[in-house]
Amino acid sequence: MVNIFLNGCCGRMGKAIAALCENNPDYKIVAGGDIIENNNYGFPVYTSLNECTEDFDVIIDFSNAKAVPAILEFALSRNKPFICCTTALSDDTVNSILAASEKIAVFKSANMSLGINMMVELCKQATRILYPEFDIEIVEAHHNRKLDAPSGTAMMIASAIDQEISDDIEFVYDRHSVNKARSKNEIGISSIRGGNIVGEHSAMFISDEEILTISHSAQTRDVFAKGALTAAKFMAGKEKGYYTMSDVIAQYIEK
């Protein structure tokens, strides 16, 4: 059993993780942290992290960008693996997480879905085989309440593709103001916002004769909660270092 400290436990994703753990013998949330006091859980919720006296194996953080430095310091003080599921982090916070990985085990991914990370691996393979004969375009769609565009996941896919290309790649987000033909070294990234779309991502590899589309559709937000728990099991007992969902997927590929 993996014992978890869940930061941001009163948020939407925190509640989803708590619900998945209720009847799962592989995981137990022993304590949580949030700015909101909540006595409805079967575990204590601390508004001040330093008040926590429970022992645990890993920390899962699904809070907000401003809260990450404090929970990272808490992970360092307790010498526990830290799983950062929070997005839209500042460069300073990202650098702090990288620095922390020299002392503790740190896990970070822009998207906690196992499926979307499998999509990233497939896109990398497709790029190695198809570029530069194929143009590459990325399309993402989310609910109408999402603030950022393009999504962090779209940028994660684009960056992974870019790493497989030796050319200098240009990310193009908006074509309406540029009257010119598409350059070969472009990766177009388009965003759609509407309704209650959880998350749709497609990478299109386009030649004159054919189109290959690699896509992922999140049906519920539970996919992100399940991914966080998969990461928790992977990280329990890990030595210091920086880990991503690619490391989780690699263990399945190697089998």
Do 228 and 192 share a domain, yes or no?
no
Check whether residue 213 and residue 225 sit in a common domain. no
Task: Examine the domain organization and report whether 212 and 244 are in the same domain.
Answer: no
Six-digit token string for 1: 């059993």
Query: Are 104 and 64 part of one and the same domain?
Result: yes
Structural domains of the chain, count: 2
What is residue 153's three-state secondary structure?
A: helix
Residue 194: give the domain boundaries. 114-218
87 and 12 in a common domain? yes
Same domain, 209 and 124: yes
Contact status, residue 80 vs residue 100, Cβ threshold 8 Å:
no
- Residue 197 dihedral angles phi and psi, to the nearest 5°: -65, 125
Please check whether residue 43 is in contact with residue 31, taking contact to mean a CB–CB distance below 8 angstroms: yes
Q: Which of 108, 142, 201, 226 is catalytic?
A: 142
Verify that 178 and 90 share a domain, yes or no: no
Indicate which CATH number applies to the domain containing 197: 3.30.360.10
What is the CATH classification number for the domain harbouring 82?
3.40.50.720
| Whole-number Å distance between alpha carbons of 81 and 55 | 12
Shared domain check, 7 and 94: yes
Is there a single domain that holds both residue 118 and residue 56?
no
Q: Is the pLDDT of residue 252 over 80?
A: no
pLDDT in tens, 211-225: 999 999 999 989 999
Rg (C-alpha) for the chain, rounded Å, is 20
Active-site annotation holds for 142 = yes
The continuous run of DSSP H or E covering 250 comes out as helix 245-253
pLDDT score of 255 more than 60: no
**Confidence (pLDDT) at 251:** 82
What phi and psi values does residue 74 have, to the nearest 5 degrees? -65, -40
Direct distance between the N- and C-terminal alpha carbons of the chain, in angstroms, rounded to an integer = 23
- Asked if residue 122 and residue 37 are part of one domain, the reply reads no
pLDDT at 207: 98
Same domain, 12 and 104: yes
pLDDT-derived band at 176, boundaries 50, 70, 90: confident
What's the pLDDT tens digit per position in 28-86? 999 999 998 877 899 999 999 999 999 999 999 999 999 999 999 999 999 999 999 99
Residues 186 and 232 in one domain: no
Burial code (b: 16+ CB inside 10 Å, e: under 16) for 123-140 equals beebbeebbeebbbbbbb
Question: Which member of 124, 146, 233, 238 is catalytic?
Answer: 146
Span 86-142, pLDDT tens digits? 988 899 999 999 999 999 999 998 899 999 999 999 999 999 999 999 999 999 999
Model confidence at 178: pLDDT above 90: no
Structure tokens, 17: 């993780």
pTM: 0.86
pLDDT value at 191 more than 70: yes
Is the Cβ–Cβ distance between 233 and 2 less than 8 Å? Answer: yes
Q: Kindly state the average pLDDT of the residues 229-234.
A: 97
